[in-house]
Amino acid sequence: MRTQVVIVGAGPSGLLLGALLGKAGIDNVILEARSAEYVLGRIRAGVLEQVTVDLLDEVGVGARMHAEGLPHDGIDLCFGGRRHRIDLHALTGKRVMVYGQTEVTHDLMDARKASGQTTVYEAEHVSIHDFDGQRPSVRYRHGGQTHTVEADFIAGCDGFHGVCRASVPHERIALHEKVYPFGWLGLLADVPPLSHELIYVNHDRGFALCSMRSRTRSRYYVQCSLADQVEQWSDQAFWDELRARLPEDAVAHLVTGPSLEKSIAPLRSFVCEPMRFGRLFLAGDAAHIVPPTGAKGLNLAATDVGYLAQGLVSHYKGNGSDLDHYSERCLRRIWRAERFSWWMTSLMHTFPTNGSFDRKVQLAELDYLVNSDAASKALAENYVGLPM
């Protein structure tokens, strides 16, 4: 098989890249190690920046998002038993869209299928070859046979544990990582959200987040130990812990119910530099991870493939400069988002090594943040997303 771009990974970044390239008339093939059902079964957050919304609109998959998504003009920061609203729209003129990553993936999958472009699910033993030369290729097994896709370029959208970054010699990569000493226990339930906007909670017992997927489905999180197991947390224990971290006025409006899903996610910050190796380009979680506190993961992946699509379109029009600067352009935005996500995580969580001084400084920073227009605006600018 021959194509112009072979994309490894059919998550939202790979599917969005395929849609952007297809719109520009660039032939592409997507290979995915898992089944389509498995990909759709992943539970992920979905706070979308305007840049991401615009990219989804650009490829024609925004209709359901605009019909069912929830535009948010602000967020609440809760500390000292009180809620403080950060008015994102008043401070920046922008808002965010709450629309689950699963739904984004579903919309992109449907559009991909309708386009007739090739997607191979359950592609086993994927390996990439000759990405430093002029004729890169990807091999995989499917249906008991070995197949080879020859291409001009390879896009590694296959996540943190994928084969693409792992295929690059170690000496060519600089890896930067920070692992946080706690995780998030998340619970999904078909109950109305506590509030029409997200609530971020700083509490002596640990961080909590009240979020949602729709007007009838809520997603809640509490900070937990990395030693915890999901089986240790009954639904009742989760709800009791969440109540203990919320202010009284919020507890009065909390609706509880049986969990649809519970899981514990560790938190880490990670960046790979550079993001281009010959004719191999990394994008999304293959190149970087952010803690979810800043709601940047999916948005960074979307802007990565936005930059990559721009570069590839320019290349096929005879101008390779955008492609040459792909890594530099991405990393500048990535490091800003990494900084913001690290700062939000440091601000909102309880750290086991912090003493009373650290706790007082944390509360003083929160107090300054909600009472200073300049500080509130800096948070808002980063939360709604910096320009692409």
Q: What confidence tens digit (pLDDT) does each residue in 159-184 have?
A: 999 999 999 999 999 999 999 999 99
List pLDDT tens digits, range 48-85. 999 999 999 999 999 999 999 999 999 999 999 999 99
pLDDT at 321 over 90: no
320 — pLDDT class (breaks 50, 70, 90): confident
Strand-pair category, 5-8 with 47-48 = unpaired
pLDDT at 43 over 80: no
Beta-bridge mates of residue 76: 85, 199
Q: Which residues are catalytic?
A: 72, 200, 292, 296, 383
What is residue 345's predicted lDDT score, i.e. its pLDDT? 98
What is residue 322's predicted lDDT score, i.e. its pLDDT? 85
Instruction: Give the type of residue at 307.
Output: Y
List pLDDT tens digits, range 77-135. 999 999 999 999 999 999 999 998 999 999 999 999 999 999 999 999 999 999 999 99
Mean per-residue pLDDT over the chain, rounded = 96
Q: Distance between CA 365 and CA 347 in Å, rounded? A: 8
Question: How many of the other CB atoms lie within 10 Å of CB of 179?
Answer: 10
Residues of the chain with pLDDT > 90, as a percent, come to 95
45 — pLDDT class (breaks 50, 70, 90): confident
179 φ/ψ angles, rounded to the nearest 5 degrees: -105, 130
What is residue 77's predicted lDDT score, i.e. its pLDDT? 98
Q: Distance between CA 49 and CA 290 in Å, rounded? A: 15
Q: Distance between CA 17 and CA 55 in Å, rounded? A: 10
Mean pLDDT in residue range 357-381: 97
What is residue 357's predicted lDDT score, i.e. its pLDDT? 97
pLDDT at 46 over 90: no
Residue 207 in 3-state DSSP? coil
Residue ranges and CATH numbers for the domains of the chain are: 5-43+101-176+268-344 (3.50.50.60)
Q: Are 316 and 191 in contact (CB under 8 A)?
A: no
What is residue 222's predicted lDDT score, i.e. its pLDDT? 98
- DSSP letter, residue 135: S
388 — pLDDT class (breaks 50, 70, 90): confident
pLDDT at 319 over 90: no
Q: Distance between CA 311 and CA 214 in Å, rounded? A: 35
